[in-house]
């Protein structure tokens, strides 16, 4: 995905926990940036990801997370996925690839409008269904 996207890890954990995990997950350094707890907004006893801290056009930001709507101050940029369960048959991120490739190739003016059309549904599954309908 790094050829299509600027990949950023944004966690509510401290750097001392985020960095070692990223090093193991990404030995080839495809992840461009890592934001941790210091970049979150603490509000009502919880750390929220504030996507404005990315200093990027909000119309171009996709925030993929198992807790997307609960942890972001910009829910309109969220792509929810199922939480990772350490099981070999967990394909949530892989299932999202066709959608991510489609978005990258078609470069919508505002990704938030695209995401709004999914109405908080399983984006990967819904995209597959829409693709099948379109091919008919």
- Which domains are delineated in the chain? 7-135 (3.40.50.1000)
pLDDT of residue 133: 85
Q: Are 79 and 96 in contact (CB under 8 A)?
A: yes
pLDDT of residue 86: 80
For 126, the token pair is 């819904």
**pLDDT beyond 80 at 136:** no
pLDDT of residue 16: 96
Give the chain's end-to-end CA distance (angstroms, integer): 28
pLDDT tens readout for residues 18-52: 999 999 999 999 999 999 999 999 999 999 999 99
pLDDT of residue 120: 85
pLDDT of residue 32: 96
pLDDT tens readout for residues 53-89: 999 999 999 999 999 899 999 999 999 998 888 888 8
Q: What is the DSSP string of 69-106?
A: HHHBS-GGGEEE-PPP-S-TT--HHHHHHHHHHHHHHH
Rg (CA), the chain: 15
């Amino acid at each position: 995905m790094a050829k299509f996207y600027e990949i950023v890890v944004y966690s509510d954990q401290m750097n001392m926990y985020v960095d070692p995990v990223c090093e193991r997950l990404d030995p080839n350094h495809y992840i461009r940036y890592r934001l941790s707890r210091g970049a979150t907004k603490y509000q009502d006893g919880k750390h929220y990801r504030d996507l404005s801290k990315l200093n990027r056009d909000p119309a171009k930001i996709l925030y993929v997370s198992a807790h997307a709507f609960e942890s972001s101050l910009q829910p309109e940029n969220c792509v929810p996925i199922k939480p990772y369960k350490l099981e070999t048959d967990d394909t949530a991120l892989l299932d999202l690839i066709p959608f991510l490739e489609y978005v990258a190739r078609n470069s919508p003016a505002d990704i938030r409008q695209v995401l709004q059309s999914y109405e908080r549904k399983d984006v990967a599954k819904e995209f597959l269904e829409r693709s099948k309908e379109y091919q008919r």
